[in-house]
Amino acid sequence: MAVLEKGTWYPNKEANNLSYEDSFELPKAAEQGRYHLYMSFACPFAHRPYLVINYLGLNNAITVSSVAAKRYSDGWLFDDFNVDPLYSSQNLVELYQRENPNYTGRVTVPVLWDKQEHTIVGNDSSSIAMELATKWLPLAKNKVELVPNSLREEIEKLNEWLHLNVNRKVYHVGFATAQAEYDQASDTLFDAMGQLDRRLNQTCYLHGSNITLSDLFLLPILVRFEAVYEVHFKANKEPLKNFENLYRYMLDLLSQESIRKTIDIEYMKQHYYFSHKHINPYGIVPAGPAISW
C-alpha cells in the first residue's frame, strides 16, 4: 500500500497503520463540465465509474483521463501518453498534495476532481459510480436507469457481496503469501463465481433482463480474468470459460461499443506484470495469452 501521512509519502505503509484518514464529500448535485475523473485503465475499481460514464453517455458532462500503465515506488504516474490534462502533474501524489498539502490517506484512483474549486470531491469508486448512475442521469445522453428505485436495495446488497467475494477476493488470491491463505481465498472466489454462473442460467443480467449497476461492478473483474488473473494472480482453479453462463454474459456486455471501448488489455498487462514486482520481480510482460473476444 502507498499512503500520504500529513503530506509525507510512504510507498510501503499500510493504511490501517494511519491514525486517521481524510475523507471527501461528493458533490451535492451534478454540474455540466465542472468535474474531471482521474482513473486507470488497469484498475477494476476505477473501471466502475468509467463504465457508468460511457454507458450513460456522460462524456460531455464530465471529462476523463487515465494515469500511466506502469506504476513505480512513487505511485501512479502520468507520462507522455497519459498526461494530467489539468495541471501537468508528474504523479497522482502531486494531485492529492495540491488538494491538501497535509493530506493523510491512500493515494488511489479513481479521483473525482472539482475543476472550479481545485479540490478532490471523491475517491471511493463505489460511491462515485452510484452518484453518476443516479444524480447525473439528467445529464446523460443514454438515460438508462442503472439503479431503478424498485431494485436499489437489491443492487446495493449485491454490489457489496461482489466487492467482498469477487472484486477484492481476486486480489486476496493474487497477493497471498501463504498456502492456506491462498487456498481459502481461491475457494471463496471460485465458489462465488459458481454462484454467479448459476444465477445467470436464469437471467440475462444480474437483476433480470436489463443492465444495472451491479453488472458494471462485476464486468471489470471478468475482462481481466484471462489476460491477468488466471496467470499473474494464479486464480486458475477453473478457467473462466468453464463458467459458460458467466462467459456468455461477459460477451453479451462486450457486444455494446460503449462498454467495449473502456477496455485496454495491453495497458492492463503492462500495469499488472510490470508493477507487481513482489509477484513478478523482473517485470516481464507475457506475450499471451490470446484473448478470443
**Matching residue, cell 442460467:** 201
Q: Tell me how far apart the alpha carbons of residues 113 and 130 are, in angstroms, rounded to a whole number.
A: 16
Whether residue 204 lies in the annotated active site: no
Torsions phi, psi of 52, nearest 5? -60, -45
Q: How many CB atoms lie within 10 A of CB 265?
A: 15
Strand partners, 5: 8
Among the options 38, 43, 55, 267, which is catalytic?
43
Kindly state the cell numbers that stand for 21: 484518514
Among the options 10, 35, 72, 171, which is catalytic?
171
Torsions phi, psi of 36, nearest 5? -130, 135
For the chain, the distance separating the N- and C-terminal CA atoms, rounded to the nearest angstrom, is 33
Q: Of 219, 273, 282, which Cα lies nearest the Cα of 50?
A: 219
Give yes or no for a cis peptide into 239 (omega within 30° of 0).
no
Positive or negative, the Cα torsion across 169, 2, 28, 86? negative
Q: Of 248, 250, 230, which Cα lies nearest the Cα of 186?
A: 230
Q: What is the DSSP letter of 208?
A: B
Catalytic residues, by residue number, are 43, 171
